[in-house]
Amino acid sequence: NAGVTQTPKFQVLKTGQSMTLQCAQDMNHEYMSWYRQDPGMGLRLIHYSVGAGITDQGEVPNGYNVSRSTTEDFPLRLLSAAPSQTSVYFCAVGGGVRNTGELFFGEGSRLTVL
Number of residues counted as binding other proteins (CB under 8 A): 25
Please list every residue from 3 through 32 that binds other proteins, using CB under 8 A. Answer: 31
Least Å from the CB of residue 1 to other proteins: 16
Contact between 58 and other proteins per CB under 8 A:
yes
Q: Pick from 68, 95, 111, 113 the residue near other proteins by CB under 8 A.
A: 95
Backbone phi, psi, residue 64, to 5°? -125, 150
Stretch that binds other proteins, among 11-19, 61-69, 78-86, 94-102 (CB under 8 A): 94-102
Question: What single letter denotes the amino acid at residue 109?
Answer: S
Least Å from the CB of residue 26 to other proteins: 16
Of 18 and 57, nearer to other proteins (C-beta) is: 57
If we measure between CA atoms, which residue out of 59, 49, 98, 60 comes closest to residue 82?
Answer: 60
- Whether 113 and 10 have beta carbons less than 8 Å apart is answered as no
- Whether 19 and 12 have beta carbons less than 8 Å apart is answered as no
Cα–Cα distance, 34 to 85 (Å, whole number): 13
